[in-house]
Amino acid sequence: MAVDNNTVKQVAFLARLKVEDSKVEQTKDEFNKILNWVEQLNEVNTENVEPLVSVNDTTLPLREDDVTDGNLKTEILKNAPMQEFGYFAVPKVVE
Amino acid sequence: MTYTIKTEKNEWEIVCGLEIHCQIISKSKIFSGASTEFGDDANENVSFIDAGMPGMLPVLNKECVRQAVKTGLGLNAQINKHSVFSRKNYFYADQPNGYQITQYEYPIVGKGNVKIDLSDGTSKNIGITRIHIEQDAAKSIHDLNPKKTYVDFNRAGVGLMEIVTEPDFRSPEEAGAFLKKLRSIVRYLGTCDGNMDEGSMRCDASISVRLKGEQGLRERAEVKNVNSVKFAMQAIESEAKRQVEVYEQGGTIEQQTCRFDQATGQTKFMRKKEYADDYRYFPEPDLPPLDLTDEYIENIRAQMVELPDAKKERFMRDFNLTAYDADLLTESRETADFFEKAAKGHDGKKVANWILGDFFARLNADKLTLEQSPIKPEMIGQLVDLITNNTISGKIAKDVFALMFETGQSPIKIVEEKGLKQVTDSSQIEKIVDEVIASNADNLAAYKSGKTNLFGWFVGQVMKASKGSANPQMVNQLLKDKLDK
């Protein structure tokens, strides 16, 4: 598997990262190096092997359904760049 | 019932599948201890986890798991003992983490099916593809400020069940019937309140069309966030018609996302699907897989309530109700419970007639809910008994019913106190009949000379003289005997 320059730009867009045009070529090569390295895994026969989701063999801890948190309005809004009437305010996002 | 869109040239059929987001009923959110209360002040019920603060870790709410399993069992579905949470990555103001925790390849519930009943008397099975659990996003408010969007995180992190169906719908009616059935089932189960207008149940519809008899599927459009059963049906119909028009004019449909405009009843193009759905799912590193035991699942199965289909069949069998009446009585659990209390030990069919007729009409007229009814269910059973055993006539029963509604008193008490008990003593009725005949010699003569339609007038006079308390059948019989003598 190899990625091209367009894929680099697309991945950068999805991750909201700015990659200068002059850096695209170099980033593509780095991507491909990583991918090639990981591709060694294809040499292993994984037939009938369940995907491994986590290397920690732990069970999922569950919580009781109780209200134990909240009422933190001031703290929650403290770092907001913009807030009005107790809401977070962001540039209009409706299409 | 086959539904098609006919044009001059062709006959088209609809292929539609639904995705329904149901907010899970739980006290706290799916991954945090903040309250799920609807309608509180903005951003009151938000924890640092819901706000996406760095370093905060989600902990799964066991009630949300139980509710999803319950819903799966209610939809006759396979419960997956092993399920996995995934990150769905996207950037939007309603999701501060930059991803939503959901389930992807390994959902908690697998294939199931739901039976829907259609207006032509036929039934159809709709396939359930899966149910997965995930967190809700924050609520965006676009209409308070012309340049800004306001975001309220109270909804962020509320548990959701996303229920996905197979593309089994061939008409708007089928989709509507399914949504109503699903709403009824989750309400019976108490797993979602089903209020589409408050957004606790939201529907997306995937719609494509194809020529009748054509195999395979064409490109589809997805209509997002429709918030009533009626709108869902309208959206499916208008989007299908739009696609037919495009095809007939030689155009093609691209896979796309639309929204439904309630004002015009039309679907509106939002975006092409090309890039929008590149969510780069990967297993959620903060949550190990969820493993359930057979014992856990069987425990929930053992506590399942009787669902609308089973209740409907039982009502038809035990109370001799029609399918239509049984349908109406089982649509909500509250109505079904009310009916059952009322019918217990009485004539179920007559009780059903009173509830679906006079009782519901009066509740509607007074804008009351079932819980606010001044009449207790047992009283309707008593009223039916009073009619069946001839204590009161059907006509007096209507008056008694009105008094029951106004005073909340039992019909037995009302009949006693107001002296409405029907007179069935034939000597007493005979006395009144004789008096009426004696004091109306002219009408008697007219009757005898052939004006037999005066019979009704005589009945009326006797009923009036008895203040409505005489048994009508006995009055009829006695009058007939005396007048035709």
Tens of each residue's pLDDT in chain B, 485 residues: 689 999 998 999 999 999 999 999 999 999 999 999 998 999 999 999 999 999 999 999 999 999 999 999 999 999 999 999 999 998 888 999 999 999 999 999 999 999 999 989 899 999 999 999 999 999 999 888 999 999 999 999 999 999 999 999 999 999 999 999 999 999 999 999 999 999 999 999 999 999 999 999 999 999 998 999 999 999 999 999 999 999 999 999 988 888 898 888 888 888 776 555 689 999 999 999 999 999 999 999 999 999 999 999 999 999 999 999 999 999 999 999 999 999 999 999 999 999 999 999 999 999 999 999 999 999 999 999 999 988 888 888 999 999 999 999 999 999 888 877 877 788 888 888 888 888 888 988 888 888 888 898 998 888 888 877 788 888 888 888 888 87
Residues of chain B with CATH 1.10.10.410: 426-483
Please judge whether A65 and B43 are an interchain contact, meaning their C-beta atoms are less than 8 angstroms apart. no
Residues contacting residue B342 through CB under 8 Å, at least 6 positions apart: B351, B354, B355, B377, B378, B379, B380, B381
The span from the CA of B81 to the CA of B126, in Å, is 24
Residues contacting residue B251 through CB under 8 Å, at least 6 positions apart: none
Please judge whether A76 and B51 are an interchain contact, meaning their C-beta atoms are less than 8 angstroms apart. yes
Would you say residue A65 lies in a domain?
no
Please judge whether A69 and B61 are an interchain contact, meaning their C-beta atoms are less than 8 angstroms apart. no
A64, A82, A95 ranked by CB distance to B62: nearest: A64
Please judge whether A84 and B46 are an interchain contact, meaning their C-beta atoms are less than 8 angstroms apart. no
Please judge whether A73 and B41 are an interchain contact, meaning their C-beta atoms are less than 8 angstroms apart. yes
Token pair of B216 as six digits: 């395979």
| DSSP string for B82-100 | EE-EEEEE--BTTBTTSEE
Count of structural domains, chain A: 1
**Structure letter (DSSP) for residue B249:** T
| Residue B47 near residue B34 (C-beta atoms within 8 A) | yes
By C-alpha distance, the chain A residue nearest B278 is A14
Would you say residue A67 lies in a domain?
no
Please judge whether B60 and A10 are an interchain contact, meaning their C-beta atoms are less than 8 angstroms apart. no
Helix (H) or strand (E) holding B206: strand B201-211
pLDDT at B186: 97
Q: What is the pTM of this model?
A: 0.85
| Structure-token match 């949550």, residue found | B287
Q: Which residues of A touch B142 (CB under 8 A)?
A: 92-94
Q: Which residues of A touch B291 (CB under 8 A)?
A: 59-60
Q: Which residues of A touch B93 (CB under 8 A)?
A: 88, 90, 93
Helix (H) or strand (E) holding A54: none
pLDDT at B277: 65
Would you say residue A91 lies in a domain?
no
Closest Cα to residue B188, out of B292, B83, B303, B353? B303
pLDDT at B392: 86
> Rounded to the nearest 5°, which phi and psi values hold at B405?
-65, -40
> Rounded to the nearest 5°, which phi and psi values hold at B430?
-60, -40
Residue numbers of the domain that contains A19: 5-42
CATH number of B426-483, picked from 3.30.70.260, 3.40.50.11540, 1.10.1370.40, 1.10.10.410: 1.10.10.410
Q: Which residues of A touch B157 (CB under 8 A)?
A: none
pLDDT at B190: 96
How many Cβ pairs closer than 8 A exist between chain A and B? Answer: 136
Q: What is the pLDDT of residues A4-17, one digit of tens each?
A: 999 999 899 888 89
Residues contacting residue A86 through CB under 8 Å, at least 6 positions apart: A73, A77, B41, B42, B43
Largest CA distance in chain A: 59
Residue B238, CB-side half-sphere exposure with 13 Å CA sphere: 18
Would you say residue A94 lies in a domain?
no
pLDDT at B318: 94
10 Å CB burial of residue B62 (0-12, 13-18, 19+) is middle
Please judge whether B44 and A54 are an interchain contact, meaning their C-beta atoms are less than 8 angstroms apart. no
Would you say residue A14 lies in a domain?
yes
Q: Which residues of B touch A58 (CB under 8 A)?
A: 288
pLDDT at B419: 78
Would you say residue A9 lies in a domain?
yes
pLDDT at B249: 94
pLDDT at A25: 95
Would you say residue A20 lies in a domain?
yes
pLDDT at B82: 94
pLDDT at B1: 60
